[in-house]
Amino acid sequence: MVKLAGLPDPIISVKDVGVQFNRGRRSAGLRQMILRGDKGASRDAFWALRDVSFDVSPGEAIGVIGRNGQGKSTLLKVVTGVLIPDEGSATVRADVSPLIEITGGFVPDLTGRENIYLAAGLHGMSKKHIDEKFDEIVDFAEIHKFLDSPYRHYSSGMQVRLAFSVVSQLDGPILLVDEVLAVGDKAFREKCYKRIDELLAAGRTLFLVSHNNGDLKRFCERGLYLRGGELRADGPLDEVLEQYAKEG
């Protein structure tokens, strides 16, 4: 576990975390064992994460590195509280703004305008706050002409632009980004980059999952390398990327 000297107390503490899945579904732990009437894990069970430990200080920008299926998105879901670990603990001492599966929660038959209020409200924004940010959200998403059209009529690019625009307005000090920067056209990606730069300049803590080394190097100084659900490396980004290149 890396603990950088001279920095404030961790905003995130992950200690000995393990997450187990079974036949494509996450195990239900004790409840599942009681209902199954057995005393052990299924033969089909596997560990998506195992013995993962690290601390994160406020304001750090961290790249989460590894091939598909190695536990990166599972780790982010543990940090957001979507998944409760089967082993260990994840303590998060601030609100999280998750740019993960960002189009989730948008209703196809509602208009863009209605979805802004719905999605932002689901993420905890008050109506007053949404009113204040509404024009900024629409301007960023560039959906002015389609604001009162059903969301299902939007192109996939428009849907992602609107979702990113809404979620990036959240005030959570911790920003989790999972491959969002891989979608959209070049102009939109540049807007996303600029927005993330602004959030980092304001002191946000960043977790970035990306297969693009350029994105990782642009935003992150520290790397976490996951392989087979284990934390293989935790340290300066360049060193972690070098280890990943050798082992991956």
Report whether pLDDT(3) > 50: no
225, pLDDT greater than 80: yes
pLDDT of residue 167: 85
Do 54 and 230 meet the contact criterion of CB atoms below 8 Å apart?
Answer: no
pLDDT at 41: 54
Q: For domain 58-247, give the CATH number.
A: 3.40.50.300
Average pLDDT of the residues in 212-241:
95
Q: What pLDDT score does 2 carry?
A: 43
- Average pLDDT on 165-186 reads 81
Read off the pLDDT of each residue in 103-125 and give the average, rounded to a whole number. Answer: 90
Question: Across residues 170-195, what is the average pLDDT?
Answer: 82
Query: Using one digit for the tens of pLDDT, what is the confidence trace for 119-154?
Result: 999 888 999 999 999 999 999 999 999 999 999 999
Q: Using H for helix, E for strand and C for coil, what is the string for the chain? A: CCCCCCCCCCCEEEEEEEEEEECCEECCHHHHHHHHCCCCCCCCEEEEEEEEEEEECCCCEEEEECCCCCCHHHHHHHHHCCCCCCEEEEEECCCEEEECCCCCCCCCCCEHHHHHHHHHHHCCCCHHHHHHHHHHHHHHHCCHHHCCCEHHHCCHHHHHHHHHHHHCCCCCCEEEEECHHHCCCHHHHHHHHHHHHHHHHCCCEEEEECCCHHHHHHHCCEEEEEECCEEEEEEEHHHHHHHHHHHC
pLDDT at 92 over 90: yes
Taking residues 150-171, report their average pLDDT. Answer: 89
* Mean predicted lDDT score pLDDT of the chain: 86
Residue 79 exposure: Cα atoms within 13 Å on the Cβ side = 34
* Region for 87 from its dihedrals, namely left if φ exceeds 0, alpha if ψ lies in -120 to 50, beta otherwise: beta
In this prediction, residue 181 carries a pLDDT of: 67
Nearest to 57 by CA among 96, 134, 5: 5
Per domain, the residue ranges of the chain are: 58-247
pLDDT confidence band for 237 (50 / 70 / 90): very high
Q: What percent of the chain has pLDDT over 90?
A: 58
Among 26-30, 43-47, 91-95, 192-196, the least confident range: 26-30
Q: Residue 34 has what pLDDT?
A: 45
Is the separation of the CB atoms in 242 and 232 below 8 Å? Answer: no
Residue 241 pLDDT grade (very low, low, confident, very high; cuts 50, 70, 90): very high
Given a cut of 50, whether residue 35 has pLDDT beyond it is: no
- State the Rg of the chain over Cα: 19
Average of per-residue pLDDT across 75-97: 92
Percent of the chain at pLDDT > 70 equals: 84
